[in-house]
């Protein structure tokens, strides 16, 4: 059970990625020390930061990365479709290494950046909740299914609480018609992570990450105990987005399935 609003040391992985950069700037109020990590150079440490370069596939390095942390916001790994081998190393071996280190060092709360692509092969005409069977649309989505199931195992076996965030589309603005349903503003992203870090008795919880959009494919009522209440909405951008993006051909799978273009991504030839 978490009953505080600040950690002594909070670890943020993937700090060099798109969302990692946003969280690096905005999670500091929730920790005395924010330890930021990526396998790429993320620059020098700012005030109240520690910077650690780490490849998630390196078990010993991940063990040292986690040591001394009180909670983890895990945003590291590959975030797009790719060949299986790099996805295997970053998103499967990497997340296993992370949870083993979390177990060994007694960390009790992980926020896992999952993805809406865990359920990308549901149709846009359907509404699903967190108990709907996984239907990944890519190898990337499949790797996030592994991460969610791994975190469930570590909760059931070792009592490590995890909140899995099935993040929609978190960008400064809505880019296309699909994002009218999947849009998650940066402010709402940060609030979602805050709720996931500090909600008491989170157990193992899965929540879809989206703002308060009137077009919504996901039902989050089973995650209501986290207390996440988005403030923003894609609706204020609808006129601009629809004018700039004509409707897709009804037979185009990009417009049929919730995963959008991901359902057509790959395969990659060596």
Catalytically annotated residues: 140
Contact 218, 208 (CB under 8 A): yes
Q: Any idea what DSSP says for residue 257?
A: B
Contact 123, 100 (CB under 8 A): no
The span from the CA of 167 to the CA of 117, in Å, is 9
Pairing relationship of beta strands 49-53 and 109-115 according to DSSP bridges = unpaired
* CA atoms 70, 71, 74, 75: torsion sign: negative
Residue 243 phi, psi (nearest 5): -70, -35
Contact 173, 165 (CB under 8 A): no
The span from the CA of 221 to the CA of 241, in Å, is 28
Coil, strand or helix: which one is 150?
Answer: helix
Long-range pairs of 125-130 with CB within 8 A, sequence gap ≥ 24: 126/217, 126/258, 127/216, 127/217, 127/218, 127/219, 128/217, 128/218, 128/219, 129/218, 129/219, 129/220, 129/221, 129/222, 130/166, 130/206, 130/207, 130/208, 130/220, 130/222, 130/223
- Between helix 94-105 and helix 59-66 the angle, nearest 10°, is 40
């Amino acid at each position: 059970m978490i009953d505080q609003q600040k950690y002594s040391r909070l670890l943020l992985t993937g700090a060099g990625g798109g969302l990692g950069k946003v969280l690096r700037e905005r999670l500091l109020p929730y920790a005395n020390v924010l330890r930021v990590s990526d396998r790429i150079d993320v620059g020098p440490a700012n005030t109240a930061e520690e910077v650690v370069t780490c490849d998630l596939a390196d078990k010993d390095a991940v063990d040292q990365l986690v040591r001394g942390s009180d909670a983890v916001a895990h945003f590291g790994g590959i975030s797009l479709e790719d060949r299986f081998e790099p996805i295997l190393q970053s998103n499967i071996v990497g997340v296993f290494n992370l949870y083993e280190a979390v177990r060994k060092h007694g960390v009790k709360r992980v926020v896992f950046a999952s993805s809406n692509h865990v359920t990308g092969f549901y149709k846009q005409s359907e509404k699903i909740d967190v108990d709907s069977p996984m239907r990944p649309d890519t190898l990337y989505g499949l790797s996030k299914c592994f991460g969610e199931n791994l975190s469930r195992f570590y909760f059931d076996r070792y009592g490590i609480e995890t909140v899995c965030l099935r993040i929609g589309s978190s960008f400064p603005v809505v880019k296309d018609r699909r994002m009218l349903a999947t849009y998650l503003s940066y402010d709402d992203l940060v609030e979602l992570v805050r709720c996931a870090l500090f909600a008491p008795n989170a157990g193992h919880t899965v929540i879809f990450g989206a703002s308060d959009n009137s077009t919504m494919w996901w039902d989050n009522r089973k995650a209501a105990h986290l207390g996440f209440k988005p403030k923003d909405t894609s609706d204020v951008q609808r006129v601009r987005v629809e004018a700039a993006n004509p409707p897709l051909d009804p037979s185009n799978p990009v417009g049929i399935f919730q995963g959008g273009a991901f359902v057509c991504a790959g395969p990659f030839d060596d």
